[in-house]
Every structure is written in structure tokens, then in C-alpha cells.
Chains A and B, each alone.
Chain A
Amino acid sequence: MTEASPTSAPVPSGDPIRVGVYVCHCGGNISDIIDTKAVAAELAAHPNVAVSNDYMFMCSDPGQALIIDDIKANHINRVVVAACSPTLHELTFRKALQRAGLNPYLFEHVNIREQASWVHKGDHEGATRKAVRLVAAGVEKVVRQDELFPIKVGVEPHVVVVGGGVAGMSAAAALAGRGLGVTLVEKASALGGRVADLDRVYPTEESGADLVQNLTRQVQCHPKVAVRLGSEVVGLDGHVGKFTVTVRATAAAAQDPDHVVRAGAVVIATGFDHYRPAQGEHGFGQSPAVVTLPDFQSALRQCPASQSGLAYQGKPVRSIAFIHCVGSRQIDGVHPPQPDGKVNDYCSRTCCAATLHTIRQVQARFPDVNVYDLHKDIRTYGRGHEAIYEEASRAGALFLRFPDEEPPTFAASKDAKCAGVVTTRDILTWGEELEIPVDLVVLATGMVPRDIASLIDLRKLPVGTDRFLQEVHPKLRPVEMGVAGILLAGACQGPMDINEACTAAQTAAVKAAILLANPTIELDPFVAVVDPQRCDGCEKCLAECEYKGALTMADAVEAGATVRRAVVNPAMCVGCGACAAVCPPRAINVAGWTLDQFDAMVDAIVAEDVGALAHTECRPSARHIEFAMAGGGN
């Protein structure tokens, strides 16, 4: 396994800390409210501040040039910019420091626009006082900041994709198209996943089998893709850039060796399962006339084109009730809880369109069948989906809307005229209670996550409250997981239709391709770092770390004696800081976010006088971190 080792020289010590403070007007966005000149003037009194200026647009070229000139001419060695949100320009200023030859992390960005001038328009004085305190806190943080270096990790230009449904295959094809090697691991004996079971798919009316065949051809014929059918991932060690993935054939005999793949990234595309209704849920399991949508679709597909009337399991069907939201959008107290005690309160998104699309197929082939659509809402959110709804309605489907807390019930009928009666309250007719004799009830069952507990356990993959795999952020980082280098594609992340699953897969592929584009990856240095001089080997931090291999203990020799010290593998640490909270001597901290820094920030926030804050000397620091892992060292 690759070991992480700190290798760089310590922060140059001895030079006095000289901070440059730059307060931005942002046109007038900030300076119309906050007295930027007063802020700069007050900060000039801080004992570590050597230069304090205000300027119209700090992010402009001349604004950045001010900083660069001060670094070069005035020996500024720490920089604080008070401006807009760091999400906008933190990188801009870090790069300016770099251009001036200063370590880019000796920088602090203070937000006095989104979190000050824009939200305190009526109180200029209060906003100015706040800005002074925030900038002083920024100065206190940056004077305690060590030089940081990106973590360099050598990469394997190969990706393991787990799951060979449309998402997994799309990801594999896109990755191979970008020149990366791919191992596609599929548990079943064939590729295709759930789409292989679909006849025609909405909204394009393509055949599910054709779609699957097309993708299967792309991956199976590609020289860079190795497909391993009937296989599962049983080991997932290492870290971004260099994972070691162990693949085992599910039907393998005990003596068959596992297949080990080295990969720079892993894409998980294990898809979803169909919700299985509880016994008695709308009559399910009690009457053969109550079936799930996938079962009905499968029956419809097998029904010969020549057949004149619709029949299910040999019985003629003259009227059908489709019931939406079975196993989705459940309400506590109304629906039975799932095995984990929670209800499925999420929307399965695809079932409305899938139900309406199935209704259209019934109507097209068997126009005499009466169709009732019982819903609490119709969510035809996607492109072309609303048209299917309209067509179903025009072709005579009767839409009834039941109240959330009163789902329809089914009672089997004793006479032979129909299989049973669905009873529902209809909001569209002012709450009228209706009894509908039907031959078949089709439950539009939702999506639930597949049971991939063993895969989740391999790396403690984050799972959301809905039990699907969870991305770092649904909007900002939609296909990344908390574990660097593990990406998500398709319905393993939540209900998606084919279009969305393939879009997510392409996104994951691009993300992986960017990660693995160069022989080494540079990762953010904000990971846990141990000061061996402070670490007393108590091991409290180990119990807090959820990430296997990120934090371990190792022997070290100190003054001739062997001692135990905590050691961080920076490529596996996610930088959450859980370890830092329990370390009595504060030996372990997240680089760039140390507890000493936060304490000092609080001191600055409560201080009445910036000038009275203590001068900070440059310390010879042991907490430098450059981890050269390029090339590995397997």
C-alpha cells in the first residue's frame, strides 16, 4: 500500500510576521455601507499588520497587483483580503500570492459583502464595527497559518465501475472514450440492469432492449473496457489515484483467486430496487388482482400483439385502477414504516411518467379497457412527460385525486363481475367517496435503494436519510462522495430516469477523467496533520476516525526510546476534524483550520481594540505538510 510521508522543509522561521490587509469597496457594494477606510485604518493598529489599505476592486488586475507589489517590496508574508465571499475569489487571491512567490495558503479571505454589507444596510456603524472584528479575526487566523502544500498523489489511469446498468455502461463508455482503462463489474450474468426489463421507454419510445444492446456493444467492443459479469467488489483499499479493488466472481469456487484491479477512481452505479408493497397494502398479497407496475409491464410485454383483449394471468381485464405513490412519499402514521423504522418520504420521480406511459400502451392496444388513475399528485416533471399525461387523459383515462392521508383501499369481490372494488375519496369532485369495480389494480411502486451494505461497509460510504448513496452536495458537487475518488452514477444516488441516470454517469466520467488526467493529482491540503512533538500516543483520535486507513498509530524513536505516535495518511483523510476534538494536547488538527486559529479568532471578535491584540511571533513549525506521493511506492 502507498504510504504518505511528510517530506518538505519546515516553514521558514525567523522572519517577522508581516500581514497585508486589503479592504475591498466592491464598487460600492461594500463601501456604501461599510466605512472601508475606517476598517483599514483600525486594522493598521494590529501589531502584526504592516500594510493596511482599501481599494475599489481588489479582484481586478490593479487590485491584485497591489498585493503582489507589497509582497515583493514591503516583505508582506501573510495576506488578508476583506471582500466578497471566498467562494468567489479565494482562489483568485491565492493565485496572486503564488505569482508573488508566497505560499498561496498564507492567505485569509474575509467575507464582508454577502455576510456584512448586504445584510446590514440599515446600520452602517454596526456593519463597520462588525467588519473590523471579522478582519481582525482573519488576521489572527492567518498569523497562525503554516505554509501548506497540495498533497501529490500518483494516479492509475484506470477506473472501476461497479454496476452494469445504463448508468454504469454509460460511465464506462465515456471513460474509455477519454482513454482511461475501465473494469466494469456487474453482479448479474448480463449487463443492462432494470432497463433491460422495459419494453418501450418514455419519452422516446425506444425499446429498452435496444438501448441496452447499444450500450453493451459500446463497452464490450471497446479495447479499454474489461467486463466482469457475475462479480462483486469485495475489497476497496487505497485512496484516490491508487485504489486497490478486489473483485470476486459470485459463483466462484473457494479455490478461484480474486481478481485485483488497481484504479485511480471508482464509479458506483449499483442502481435501485423496486419497492415491494407490504402484505395487505392496497390489497397486495391478498388478492391476485393486485400487482405491481413492473409485474404488469412485464405481463404486457409478454402479451402477444395478436391478442384481442387484455388478460392478466388468464383472466380478462376490462377495467384497471393504477394507484400512484406506492412506497413513495409515505407519511409517518399513515403508512407502515420500513424495516429501519422510517417511512419512504421521498418521491420516486419516475413512477408517474412510467405509469402514464403504461396507461398509454394499454389504451393503444386495448382501447376498450377502462382506465382509472388514482394519484395524490401527478409529477410529470421531465421533458416530454407532460405530453404523455395529456395523451392518456385525452384517450379517456379517468383521473381521481386522493387525499395524502387517505390512500385508496381494495376489497376483493365475491361476485364474478369484477375482481374487486377500489374505494377512494376524490378531491377533484369535492371529496366524494367513490367505489370503482375493477379487474386489476396496478400499484405504481417506487424505487428503493439496493442492498449494497457490503459495498458501503468497505469504505463507510455516506448514505442519506432516504438510504440512497449520498453526494457531497446535491448542487455544488453532485456526483462526488465524501471519500475522494469515489463517484456516483445513476439511481444508486436516488430515483432517476434513464436520461438523468446517463447524464449523472457522463458527469461522473468527466469528473474521474479530470482527476486522472495527469500522472499526479494535487489534492487540497486540508487534512488532519499530527504534531509529533505534542502527540502523546493516547490513541483517543483513532476511535473517532471513521475512515479506514486514514489514521493509524506507528512506532517512532524519540531520544533513544520507542514511542507510539498517530500518523495520518493524507490521501485517505477527509479533513472532517473529528479527531481534533478529542486530542487533549491538540497534537492533531486539520491543516488550515486549527483549534488555535479558531480560539484566536474568537479573541479578536470579542476584543474592543484591535491594537491591543498580542503580537504573534513566527514559530518554527513542525506542522508543515507536503506529502509527496507521486509515483506511489507500492
Chain B
Amino acid sequence: MSRKDDLKILIITTMISSYPGANTVGQARLQYSPGTFIVRVPDPVMFPEEFYLDSFAKGIDGIIIMSSGSDCPYEGAYPRLSKRVGRVYARMKELGIDTSRLKLTTICTVCKAAFLKEIRDMQQNILKAKAA
């Protein structure tokens, strides 16, 4: 049976909001599981659908896309991203991958509680799915 700390959760953060947000969580010394791997990108709109599916196939348990949401400084990027994630969900269903393993959310530079909650929720979802 998996423990939450054994999971590998990929957290995709944006340079302008959620990456500094993750730093804010650290500066506040708030604690979360080490099974979390934060990568920073200019914007997650750059990832094709395959990136997510391939990552699951490689052994990533869950992916949280922490976007800048409507604060995204790139024109049209967020609507594109959210449509793409919708298509990834459809493909996950086709492939029999539990869709709760992928989450698109918005995290700002000071969203400490939301940052922690997203991780907790993702871990719970994965563990529940694994146990089922």
C-alpha cells in the first residue's frame, strides 16, 4: 500500500505567480510531503497533451498545474491551457487513467493555504484511487 510520501507529484508552476507562491510557502516554513516535484515554466500552455500522458506512463502519480489563471500575462494562454487540459481529461478517460490525477488550478504569489490544499487533495485522491 502506498504512503503519501512515496507518491511522485509533479507540480507545474509559472514563473510569475505560482513558483514565487511555492517560495512563499517555504518562507513561512509550512510543511508538506517531499513526494512533490516543482518545475517552473514561463507558462504551462507550452505543454502538449502528450506531455501529461507520457508523464503518467513514466510513473508520475499526479500532476498539479498551478497556473496564473486570469492573472496570466500572456494573451489567450489560459483559455488555451484550460481547453487543452479538457482534452487531456478526455484522453485519460479513454486510456482508463483516473482523471483526479490531473488538476488545473490557479495559485498566486501568496496563495499559501491553497497551495497546501491542492497537494493534500491530490495525495488523497491518488491514494483513494490506488486503494480502490
Contact A590 B47 (CB under 8 A): no
Do B27 and A605 have beta carbons less than 8 Å apart? no
CA distance A598 to B45 in the complex (A): 13
Given known A118-B29, A460-B75, A595-B51, contact A472–B16 (CB-CB < 8 A): yes
Cβ of B1 under 8 Å from chain A: no
Residues from chain A with a CB closer than 8 A to the CB of B70 are 464-465
- State how many angstroms separate the Cβ of A363 from the closest Cβ of chain B: 40
Chain A residues closer than 8 Å to B42, beta-carbon distance: 526, 575-577, 590, 593
Q: Are B16 and A473 neighbours in the complex by a CB distance under 8 Å? A: yes
Partner of A544, one of B36, B40, B59, B80: B80
Which residues of the partner chain B approach A472 to less than 8 Å between Cβ atoms?
16, 73
Mark each residue of chain B from 25 to 41: 1 if its CB lies under 8 Å from any CB of chain A, else 0.
Answer: 11101111111111111
A306 within 8 A of B: no
Q: In the docked arrangement, what's the CA distance between A122 and B34, Å?
A: 10
Instruction: Count residues of chain A with CB under 8 A from any CB of chain B.
Output: 57
Q: Assess whether B71 is in contact with A470, with CB atoms less than 8 Å apart.
A: yes
CA of A576 to CA of B31 in the docked complex: distance in angstroms? 31
Contacts known (A126-B5, A133-B37); A119 close to B32, Cβ less than 8 A: yes
Contact A464 B8 (CB under 8 A): no
Give the interface of B toward A (CB within 8 A): 5, 8, 10, 16-17, 19-20, 22-23, 25-27, 29-43, 45-48, 51, 54-55, 58-60, 70-71, 73-77, 80, 84, 109
User: Nearest Cβ distance between residue A407 and chain B, in whole angstroms?
Assistant: 27
- Which B residue sits closest to A592, measured CB to CB? B42
- Interchain CB contact under 8 A, A601 and B71: no
Provided the pairs A581-B45, A595-B47 are in contact, do residues A118 and B71 lie with their beta carbons within 8 angstroms? no
Q: Give the docked Cα–Cα distance between A470 and B70 (Å).
A: 10
Instruction: Give the shortest distance, in Å, between A604 (CB) and chain B (any CB).
Output: 9
Nearest residue, chain B, Cβ from A589: B46
Min CB gap A385→B, angstroms: 25
Tell me whether A405 is interfacial, beta carbon within 8 Å.
no
The residue from B25, B34, B55, B71 contacting A129, defined by CB atoms under 8 A apart: B34
Given the complex, which residues of B lie within 8 Å of A87, measured CB to CB?
A: 19-20, 23
A130 within 8 A of B: yes
CA distance A470 to B54 in the complex (A): 35
Please determine whether B16 and A546 come into contact, CB atoms closer than 8 angstroms. Answer: no
CB of A85 within 8 A of chain B?
yes
- Residue of B16, B34, B42, B109 contacting most chain A CB atoms (<10 Å): B34
Which residue of B26, B33, B34, B46 is within 8 Å of A581 (Cβ)? B46
Q: Which residues between 128 and 148 of chain A lie within 8 Å of chain B, taking CB atoms?
A: 129-130, 133-134, 137
Determine if A121 and B35 form an interchain contact, defined as CB atoms under 8 angstroms apart.
Answer: no
Residue of B nearest to A34 (CB): B34
CB distance from A67 to the nearest CB of B (A): 22
Task: Indicate if the CB atoms of A576 and B74 lie closer than 8 Å.
Answer: yes
Whether B8 pairs with A580 at a CB distance below 8 angstroms is: no
Residues of A contacting B23 in the complex (Cβ-Cβ under 8 angstroms)? 85, 87, 111, 114-115
- Chain B nearest CB, measured from A558 CB (Å): 26
* CB-nearest residue of chain B to A584: B48
Contact assessment for A581 and B54 in the assembled complex, using a CB-CB cutoff below 8 Å? no
Task: Decide if B73 touches A462 in the complex (CB within 8 Å).
Answer: yes
Q: Cβ of A155: which chain B residues have Cβ within 8 Å of it?
A: none
A575 to B45 CA separation, bound complex (whole angstroms)? 11
Q: A119-B32, A606-B58 are in contact. List 16 more A-B contacts (CB 8 A).
A: A87-B23, A118-B29, A119-B25, A120-B31, A122-B31, A123-B5, A126-B34, A473-B17, A526-B42, A576-B74, A578-B76, A578-B77, A580-B46, A581-B46, A602-B55, A606-B59
Closest to B24 in A: A114
Contact A482:B34 (CB < 8 A) given known A577-B46, A581-B46: no
Q: Is A578 a contact partner of B80 (Cβ separation < 8 A)?
A: yes
Question: Given A123-B5, A577-B46, A578-B45, is A602 in contact with B73 using a C-beta cutoff of 8 Å?
Answer: no
Query: Does A44 count as interface, using CB distance less than 8 angstroms?
Result: no
With known contacts A114-B26, A578-B74, A582-B48, A475–B34 Cβ distance under 8 A: no
Query: When the two chains form their complex, are residues A581 and B48 in contact, meaning their CB atoms are under 8 A apart?
Result: yes
Q: Tell me whether B55 and A115 are in contact (CB under 8 A).
A: no
Does A116 sit at the interface, judged by CB under 8 A? yes
A120, A544, A547, A598: the one contacting B47 at CB < 8 Å is A598
Separation in Å of the A568 CB from the closest CB of chain B?
A: 14
Asked if A535 lies at the interface with its beta carbon under 8 angstroms from chain B, I say no
Residue of A nearest to B68 (CB): A473
Instruction: Tell me, yes or no, whether A574 is within 8 Å of chain B by CB.
Output: yes
Assuming A119-B25, A605-B10, is B48 touching A111 (CB within 8 A)? no
- Closest CB-CB distance, B15 to chain A, in whole Å? 9
Complex CA gap A116/B25 in Å reads 11
Interchain nearest-CB distance for B23 vs A (Å): 4
Could you say which residues of chain B place their CB within 8 Å of the CB of A599? Answer: 51, 54
Is the pair B27, A118 in contact by a Cβ cutoff of 8 Å? yes
Complex: A116 Cα to B31 Cα, angstroms: 9
A276 smallest CB distance to B (angstroms): 25
Q: Is the CB of A121 within 8 A of B47?
A: no
* B20 partner residues in chain A, CB cutoff 8 A: 87, 476
CB distance from A545 to the nearest CB of B (A): 9
Residues of chain A with a CB closer than 8 A to B46's CB: 576-578, 580-581, 590, 593, 595
Bound Cα distance from A471 to B31, whole angstroms: 31
Instruction: Verify B38–A119 contact, CB threshold 8 A.
Output: no
Q: Does A127 contact B (CB under 8 A)?
A: yes
- How many Å from the CB of A614 to the closest CB on chain B? 14
18 of the cross-chain contacts (CB-CB < 8 Å) are A113-B26, A119-B30, A119-B31, A119-B32, A120-B31, A121-B29, A123-B34, A126-B33, A130-B36, A462-B74, A473-B109, A476-B20, A477-B16, A577-B46, A578-B77, A581-B46, A590-B46, A605-B60
CA distance in complex: A119, B39 (Å): 16
Taking a contact as CB atoms under 8 Å apart, the answer to whether A576 and B43 are in contact is: yes
For window 83-124 of A, CB contacts with B under 8 Å fall at: 85-87, 111, 113-116, 118-123
A114-B45 in contact (CB<8A):
no
Tell me whether A603 is interfacial, beta carbon within 8 Å. Answer: yes
- B35 and A126 contacting across the interface, CB-CB below 8 Å: yes
Beta-carbon contact of A130 and B37 below 8 Å: yes
Chain A residues near B5: list those with CB within 8 A: 123, 126
Q: How distant is the Cα of A476 from the Cα of B68 in the complex, in angstroms?
A: 14
Known contacts: A114-B23, A578-B76. The answer to whether A602 contacts B10 by CB under 8 A is yes
What distance in Å separates the Cβ of A123 from its nearest Cβ neighbour in chain B? 6
For residue A598, which residues in chain B have a CB less than 8 angstroms away from its CB?
Answer: 39, 41, 47, 51
Tell me the minimal C-beta distance from A540 to chain B in angstroms: 11
